[in-house]
Amino acid sequence: MSKFWSEAVKRCDPYVPGEQMNNPNILKLNTNENPNPPSPNVMEAINKEMERKLNLYPSPTVDQLRNEIAAYYHLAKENIFVGNGSDEVLAFSFMAFFEPGKKIRFPAISYSFYPVYAKLFNIPYEEIPLNRDFTLPVEDFFQSEGGVIFPNPNAPTSVYLGLDAIEEILQSNPNQMVIIDEAYIDFALESAVSLIATYDNLLVVQTMSKSRSLAGLRVGFALGNPNAIEALTRIKDSFNSYTLDRLAIVGAEAAMKDTDYFIATTQKIIQTREWVITEMKKRGFYVVPSKANFIFASHYTKSALGLYTALKENEVLVRHFNKPDIDNYLRITIGTDNDMKLFFQKLDDILEKAS
């Protein structure tokens, strides 16, 4: 703390990201990255761009990438905003649509960046407790004062909320923005993007970090009514006229175009996830029904913190949250089949020693 700090900085408890480790032997299942490399076309596009264009500024409007994303969803580029990871898109969304003095709502167990942004931008908030099975208590999100935000599927629980419930929330908040953070939607069922044409209070935020294997490139985007997109663009232009660099733009375009690779890799992760869930259950875990590229699991007799620590000693990193209601759960990212076989080998050793 310093006398030079602004009130905003004093209020802010920065988000603590999952551990990143230099040890190359570590099996990293803690930050929901994709275990597959990006489409080979991404590397090719980036190499070409590096050879030719790095001395030139990127496009401030990023039209080509926005067109590519729009085409995938049968929308227009006016429906698309792109930013430096969905974290930046979410931060801009808080500034564009939520305001001091009007309470927003988000789930009490949810993406821990939301309270960080809310405090930073002085937006009051209510944290809505989830149901006991971690499903969203839909009616508690009706008629909010200042707006609503939640991830779908939720993180870290992996629970998916259907479009009927989302429509009820949208209809009961006609004068407030409802932001749906779909970081993990490609491992789930239907996206709420199909509702954009009907609801001008809907903003969907997605990322290329998970299903497109591009966490290192930092590309996120929002989809919504052109008025909502214009609001985000105003915020962006006030901070930085170029939020995406040239390599990120061409890499993201190539990833967006390679639909075959995208489908093959996401389907494979879903298949591995289902196998992992079965194997976890055989080992005495309760696993929350997952629609994401991670699972949320609790052992019937062993403590999650004990398992987290033992796994870490065995060079396996998973995520444990020191938070009431979920401190006996582990969040485990789905890796390749080989990653998960190694995970089970190490887990079995630990469970055996502990029994």
Distant-in-sequence contacts of 124-128, Cβ < 8 A, 24+ apart: 124/100
Quickly count helices (H) and strands (E) in the chain: 11, 13
Q: Give least dist CB 321 to ligand PMP, A.
A: 12
- The smaller minimum CB distance to ligand PMP, of residues 116 and 350, is found at 116
Q: Give least dist CB 209 to ligand PMP, A.
A: 3
Q: Give least dist CB 159 to ligand PMP, A.
A: 12
- Tally Cβ neighbours within 10 Å of residue 304: 21
Q: Give least dist CB 111 to ligand PMP, A.
A: 4
- The smaller minimum CB distance to ligand PMP, of residues 73 and 344, is found at 73
- Give ∠ CA 115-121-122 in degrees, rounded to 5: 80
CB 129 within 8 Å of CB 152: no
Q: Which residue has the tokens 């289902």?
A: 274
The residues facing 298 across adjacent strands are 286
Write out the residues near ligand PMP by the rule CB under 6 A. Answer: 85-87, 111, 151, 155, 181, 183, 207, 209, 215, 220
Q: Give least dist CB 181 to ligand PMP, A.
A: 5
Rounded Cα–Cα distance for residues 180 and 201 (Å): 11
Strands 316-317, 27-28: pairing kind: parallel
Residue 318 carries which DSSP code? -
Residue 337 carries which DSSP code? H
- The smaller minimum CB distance to ligand PMP, of residues 18 and 289, is found at 18
Coil, strand or helix at 10: helix
Q: Give least dist CB 4 to ligand PMP, A.
A: 29
Q: Give least dist CB 116 to ligand PMP, A.
A: 12
CB 136 within 8 Å of CB 165: yes
Q: Give least dist CB 300 to ligand PMP, A.
A: 27
Nearest to 196 by CA among 8, 69, 23: 69
Element (H, E) at 294: strand 294-299
Q: Which residue has the tokens 């009490």?
A: 108
- The smaller minimum CB distance to ligand PMP, of residues 47 and 240, is found at 240
Cα–chain-centroid distance for residue 354? 34
- The smaller minimum CB distance to ligand PMP, of residues 85 and 224, is found at 85
- The smaller minimum CB distance to ligand PMP, of residues 49 and 88, is found at 88
- The smaller minimum CB distance to ligand PMP, of residues 151 and 224, is found at 151
- The smaller minimum CB distance to ligand PMP, of residues 210 and 246, is found at 210
**Residue 274 one-letter amino acid:** E
Q: Which residue has the tokens 């949810």?
A: 110
Dihedral sign computed on CA atoms, order 30, 208, 163, 100: positive
CB 55 within 8 Å of CB 61: no
Rounded Cα–Cα distance for residues 108 and 116 (Å): 13
Q: Give least dist CB 220 to ligand PMP, A.
A: 4
- The smaller minimum CB distance to ligand PMP, of residues 218 and 299, is found at 218
